A = this chain, B = another copy of it.
Amino acid sequence: MIIVMKPNAKQEAIDHIVQIIRSNGLEVHLSAGQEVTIIGVIGNKTKLADKNLEIADGVERIVPVTESYKLANRKFHPDSSVIKVGNTTIGGDELAIMSGPCAIESQEQLMETAFAVKKAGAQILRGGAYKPRTSPYAFQGLEEEGLRYMKEAREATGLAVVCEVTSLHAIEAAVKYVDMLQIGARNMQNFYLLKEAGKTGLPVLLKRGLSATIDEWLNASEYIMAEGNPNVVLCERGIRTFETATRNTLDISAVPIIKERSHLPIIVDPSHASGIRRLVKPLAMSAVAAGADGLMIETHPNPTCALSDGPQSLTFPQFETLCEELRPIASLMSKHF
């Protein structure tokens, strides 16, 4: 931690800061420049967490030097994590393909989708039973009934299954049926939910919040991991910007940045990132080329009748073609599926 003093900071002000730091058992390095004095703090800075040095006399600003996330930090865990989900893994040589409908609508719809996406190459079935919708008047999901269909689809196809949870109640139901919990973008900083998901020990797919920085996202994963659950997979799904041509802006740079800062696997969701079916293919291709460990892609037996997010869902033939097109590029990146 570095404390930058104001140009006109008085000597007493500097001495006061130094005294606070030392009295908390930390060492100080003073750099008195022509224009400003800089105070470097050596040691565990959390000892100063409640000291609010920003507002002490003469202080201009505080510059943090180390990240607040530790368990997710590659600095302390240099090897990439490989997360087991059902019979498959994410983060290793396999490109993880998650696919399925935005919302589970019926047993038939889900079962048909499960067989179709498995045939095309997906290893994981996705499907929403608890839908966070902007308007309270939109379809809110089948809840536990939907989870039951997920389990049936898993048993029939051998696919691993992942489902979003939006409350403790939903978590308690989901653990009975699914292989992986999803925390959606809108709940990325629902810290209560993160902790409860962490406690289950199940792998957690943590979507990036619409306006979350990469550091906030990694801190959110830390909430899950701090509960003793190291099984976190990150999912980039677009951030909110001024551009309205796409629903969100896919932050493709997040893939290599996460790879640098963290050992956790990262997948990309081109369906939600764009909200446009025609963009799913180019964005999926680019995600694999950028080094993503997997993709989440919405599919539906009949997108024109989907109860949620139809306009961004692929038909089964479209999905199968996409998988064919992805394989050579995955192969270039030393991935397969």
List the interface of chain A (C-beta within 8 A of B). 2, 4, 7, 27, 29-36, 38, 40-44, 46, 49-52, 54-56, 63, 65-66, 68-69, 75, 130, 132-139, 166-170, 186-187, 189-193, 195, 209-211, 213-216, 219, 222-223, 226, 239-246, 249-257, 260, 273-274, 277-279, 282-283, 285-291, 303-307, 310-311, 328-329, 332
Contact = CB atoms under 8 A, between A and B. Distances in A.
24 contacts: A33-B40, A34-B42, A36-B65, A38-B65, A50-B139, A50-B305, A52-B303, A52-B304, A52-B310, A136-B219, A136-B222, A137-B222, A166-B190, A170-B192, A213-B242, A214-B243, A214-B245, A241-B249, A243-B251, A245-B254, A257-B279, A282-B289, A283-B290, A289-B289
B219 A135 contact: yes
A253 B273 contact: yes
Contact of A215 (B52, B239, B240, B245): B245
Nearest to A32: B42
Contacts of A35: 65-66
Q: How many copies of this chain are found per oligomer?
A: 4
Nearest to A326: B289
Residue in A29, A43, A240 whose Cβ sees the most chain B Cβ within 10 Å: A240
